[in-house]
Amino acid sequence: MSKKIHQLPPEEVLKVLETSPQGLSTEEAEKRLKIYGPNQLEEKKESPLIILFRQFNNPLVYILLVAMGITIYMGDKIDAFIIGGIVLVNGLLGFFQEIKARSSLEALKKMTETKAKVIRDGKEQLLPVSQITVGDIVIVGEGDVVPADIRLIEATGLLVDEAILTGESIPVEKSPESLEEDEPPLYRMKNLLFKGTIVVRGKGKGVVFAVGRQTQIGKIAEKVKESSPESPLNRALKSFSMKWVAVLIGILTFIFVLGIVQGRDIYKLFMLIISELVSAVPEGLPLVITFVLVIGAMALARKKTLVKYLPAVETLGSASFILSDKTGTITEGKLQVKEYTSDNDEILFLISALCNDATEDRGDPLEIALLKWLDSRDYPWKRVRNIYPRVWEYPFDTNLRLMATVHRVENRNYLLVKGAFETLKELATNNVEHFQKIHDQMAEKGLRVLAFGYAPVEGIPDDIRNIKIEVVGLVGFIDPPKKGVKEAVEIARRAGIRVVMVTGDNLKTAVAIAKEVSIYREKDVAVTGQEIARYSDDELYNLMKLCSVVARATPEDKYRLVKVLQKKGEIVAVTGDGVNDVPALKIADLGIAMGDGTEAAKEVAKMVITDNNLSVIVDAVKQGRAIAKNIRKIIYYLLSCSFGEIMLLTSAFLLKLPLPLYPIQILWINLVTEGVQDKTFAFNRPPEDLMSQKPEKPEKAFFDKKQLIDITYGALLIGGINLIVFIYMLKTADYSLAVTTTFTSLIANQWVNGFQAIKDEPFLKNIPDTFRANPYMFLGVGIGFLLQLVAVYVIPQWLHTTPLSIREWIIVLISSVAIFILLEIRKFLGRTGR
């Protein structure tokens, strides 16, 4: 039936779908939701069982299982049981953390769910798109994303971008008239709107005939399901892991060959290699990073920033440019008429009332401001609208920057126009020089200026660009800056982020506002979209280093600015709320949509700001930097600890000493240090000077020369000091006590390393601040300490330990203090790169 619905007249369509122009009742809608299902493209969700199995689907677990098999074969069943148990515990921890992370993300997704205007129970309502069903009456307007497949029953100047379905970049004109063709191609379905397409201009009303998987886009989605691209951080981790494993295999091959030559016991040699592999690769790193990102996304949500695409959090802190809208982001977005001038007040008021789509509280803010202004002057605009009905309209054109309507006034048609003065003066038949001077004076004050004109017409204009009008007046609007924006701009500047206002406003108006909030300063450059078209990409990039305002910008201009900056390695955040912002939002490193913006903008953005304020965006950048900083610290902590274990084991082997640790003990170390301490890094309090640092490139934020030097330094300390502990204990005690002391010392040293990683400055520089930086880490170490006491005194036979006396605990304390002091000295010398 859906194939023939385009052939039926609107009234027949309503009958077939058993609905009416008043829409469905709530009860009927609920019944249909059960029949047709929710109006959403179902994501392929993994079952909990698959998530559980995936925790064990990695080479490290395979190696541990091989090690467990060998220990069983060698008759050491207790070790085999413990290895298997720890593999299971780690897998279960990963499983529960991933389930919790998914639940948190689902909650965030619900917060960003788009809504559509629907008529239910005879009333207009905003409903979640997922709750729309067959038979619902939907109203769409400029900037809306079509929520379902809809048969039009009314349309006024409706243009829809269907590129997502047809590949055609030119918008399609839509109308409710029936089609005769039986099965026309999609691009000729003039009376149908398809889910996911974007309304570029005009408005329409229609009835839903297909939802969810039954829509055109749903059918395509079922055939082709493409997975999300891998995030930059994950790619960096994968690349690093592959290189490290290659180096490790070379090292272990050398050790194995040397061990054979030395006549080492094959079983112990193989267990050494397995132990080093387990030590070398922190298998929990991807999970911990995901955990940090989720915690960060939740923190951003509390600060009015909703993350739709989790990997975007990784690069948030690296933003070097913010291309920001003016209206609603930098300014209040609540316009009011500040001043006006006219050759005929009565005609100016008439145009303001009639060439206007707004009502008292709904519509374009500028048009609402006009109506409030008319109210303040006791002008009866509602009665005027009834007396002089609209017979034709030309919705606002973003390229021509004007809107026009035709009304029947005293038995004659009049064309009424409002728009940018630059546009209307080109159409003017009267002398507008006096208006030009007043316009410039208004613009210098930061007012947004509209010109108004009219002309008697015989019929409907064929081409709006060829009309001639008489310009009768100007109205200047003020849109005051939001509180906190000026301070946010200063913070961004200190942080090395260039804020550029990109607006469709007049150049003088834009500069006046930019000056007020410190975006535009002395020696800065301000240009128009028309001017930047004359620059090559290289010239434009050099210009953007000096530019702080781009006025009269088109969507193509904003798109090009993003591409040029990205080409030069800049990380670009773009804010937007209109359909004209969609191209730039989509390609930006961080597309940030405004919470009350169009559905089209929110659909393609990676983040949604619920409070339209530049200060919130700058605060989100700060949060992103804190997240990136925590990930860097986690990488340092895990790798320095893992490499320290490798150095201890390898050094003992090369010195022909017995193994300082059993493989089972290495697994236990990972549980009581990394297992309880690394998760707490997500709660690190950001340093005070976070926004006084320059942005880092994403590829250098986590792995750079300084980071690798720090990891190596920490690993040498941990490996070297514990080798000294092991050698000393071998000389003064038996092997079992030497292993237990080294085992406990290594764990305590890693805790100290974790404490030192909390913040970049020395631990002792501001002790109260250090303890406030992350209280959860001390809790994690407390849990780890209790577990270690269990290992030493409760289950020594399971972990090859023996009870320690006060003497051995003093040795553990001395080694930990030594680690602490040497890490502290490095910080005081200012050589740390974290």
Query: What are residue 119's DSSP bridge partners?
Result: 124, 137
Q: Which residue has the higher pLDDT, 795 or 232?
A: 795
Compute CA distances 822 → 226, 649, 717, whole Å.
50, 21, 8
Best mean pLDDT range from 156-160, 538-542, 582-586, 634-638: 538-542
Q: What is the DSSP string of 670-695?
A: IIIIIHHHGGGGGGPPPPTTGGGSPP
CB atoms within 10 A of CB 15: 12
pLDDT at 287 exceeding the cut of 70: no
How far is the C-alpha of 380 from the C-alpha of 371, rounded, in Å? 10
Chain segment 559-583, per-residue pLDDT in tens: 899 999 988 988 888 887 765 577 7
Q: Across the chain, what does the average pLDDT equal?
A: 82
pLDDT of the residue at 704:
78
- Show Cβ contacts of residue 329 under 8 Å, excluding neighbours closer than 6 positions: 482, 575, 577, 594, 612, 613, 614, 617
pLDDT of the residue at 222:
55
Q: What's the rounded mean pLDDT across residues 303-309?
A: 74
- Show Cβ contacts of residue 348 under 8 Å, excluding neighbours closer than 6 positions: 340, 342, 452, 472, 473, 475
Q: Report if pTM > 0.85.
A: no
Residue 766 banded pLDDT, cuts 50, 70, 90? confident
pLDDT at 322 exceeding the cut of 80: yes
pLDDT at 371 exceeding the cut of 70: yes
Which of 132-141, 304-313, 463-472, 776-785 shows the lowest mean pLDDT across its residues? Answer: 304-313
Chain segment 794-824, per-residue pLDDT in tens: 988 888 899 999 999 999 999 999 999 999 9
pLDDT of the residue at 382:
94
pLDDT of the residue at 169:
47
How far is the C-alpha of 56 from the C-alpha of 90, rounded, in Å? 9
Q: Which residue has the higher pLDDT, 380 or 284?
A: 380
Q: What's the rounded mean pLDDT across residues 237-241?
A: 64
pLDDT of the residue at 607:
81
Say which of 161, 325, 357, 557 is annotated catalytic. Answer: 325
pLDDT of the residue at 361:
74
pLDDT of the residue at 111:
52
- Show Cβ contacts of residue 757 under 8 Å, excluding neighbours closer than 6 positions: 633, 636, 637, 681, 834
Q: Which residue has the higher pLDDT, 425 or 702?
A: 425
How far is the C-alpha of 405 from the C-alpha of 346, rounded, in Å? 17
Best mean pLDDT range from 89-93, 220-224, 480-484, 675-679: 480-484
| Residue 325 annotated among the catalytic residues of the structure | yes
Q: What's the rounded mean pLDDT across residues 115-135?
A: 92
